[in-house]
């Protein structure tokens, strides 16, 4: 398949620029170094129209506003995996990858809610307030920058939750110590694993 170029709109079309900003946000959870990980982990995946990316410590997902973006291939990616060929402030270049192994995002998004935490309204504080809120409500230590990156661009109420141990951790790890924080709004979703203490 040909390369797909997603550009920031020069005429300030809100829906297109919002889509571009969410793609930039999605790339923040893409692994920068290869390390000892499978190559598939540095891809963007689209499953059932939901875009997601993970670096094995955090996961970013977003659902595009399909009603308000152009009906063209660069704005409505078909389900599959995409390699990021390049990205900058003005454009992102992707290439479809045949046969890439996908992350089973359903195991993450269908967890049983624990509801130990409460929502945070973005109008009531700064990003530092949000990070502090996450630390106080979860009792766990997370990478500060990952929380800032995850909340970037979210508006209104951000719902914060910790998955139930039996519904989630049996899949990820054998210890409650490694229960992640999950937060998001209507169109964006973030999962971040805690730091080892």
pLDDT tens-digit map of 109-159 = 555 555 556 788 888 888 888 898 888 888 888 999 999 999 998 888 888
* SS3 state at 23: helix
Using CA atoms, how far apart are residues 150 and 191, in angstroms rounded to an integer? 8
Q: Contact at 8 Å (CB) between 101 and 32?
A: no
Query: Who wins on pLDDT, 169 or 28?
Result: 28
Q: For residue 175, what pLDDT is reported?
A: 55
Q: Stretch 68-79: mean pLDDT, rounded?
A: 88
Bridge partners of residue 47, in order along the sequence: 50
Average pLDDT of the chain is 80
Confidence (pLDDT) at 12: 64
Report, as an integer, the average pLDDT of 9-32. Answer: 82
* Rounded Cα gap, residues 77 and 40, in angstroms: 18
Q: Does the pLDDT of residue 173 top 70, yes or no?
A: no
CA distance 51 to 76: 10
- Please state the rounded mean pLDDT for residues 68-94: 89
Neighbouring C-beta atoms of residue 59, cutoff 10 Å? 22
Quick check: 115 and 163 in contact, CB under 8 A? no
- Residue 47 pLDDT: 86
Q: What is the SS3 assignment for 17?
A: helix
Rounded-to-5 percentages of helix, strand, coil across the chain:
30, 25, 45
- Reply yes or no on whether the pLDDT at 8 is more than 90: no
Q: So what's the pLDDT on residue 27?
A: 92
């Amino acid at each position: 398949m040909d390369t797909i170029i997603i550009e920031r709109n020069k005429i300030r079309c809100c829906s297109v620029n919002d889509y571009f900003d969410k793609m930039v946000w999605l790339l923040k959870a893409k692994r920068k170094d290869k390390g000892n990980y499978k190559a598939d982990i540095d891809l963007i995946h689209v499953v059932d129209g939901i875009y997601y990316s993970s670096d094995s410590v955090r996961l970013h997902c977003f659902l595009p506003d399909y009603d308000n973006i152009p009906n063209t291939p660069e704005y409505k990616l078909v389900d599959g995996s995409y390699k990021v060929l390049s990205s900058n402030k003005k454009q992102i270049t992707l290439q479809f990858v045949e046969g890439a192994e996908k992350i089973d995002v359903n195991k993450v998004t269908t967890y049983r809610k624990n509801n130990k935490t409460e929502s945070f309204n973005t109008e009531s504080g700064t990003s530092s307030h949000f990070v502090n809120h996450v630390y106080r409500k979860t009792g766990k230590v997370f990478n500060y920058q990952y929380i800032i990156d995850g909340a970037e661009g979210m508006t209104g109420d951000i719902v914060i939750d910790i998955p139930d141990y039996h519904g989630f951790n049996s899949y990820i790890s054998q210890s409650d110590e490694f229960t992640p924080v999950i937060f998001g709004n209507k169109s964006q979703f973030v999962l971040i694993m805690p730091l080892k203490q």
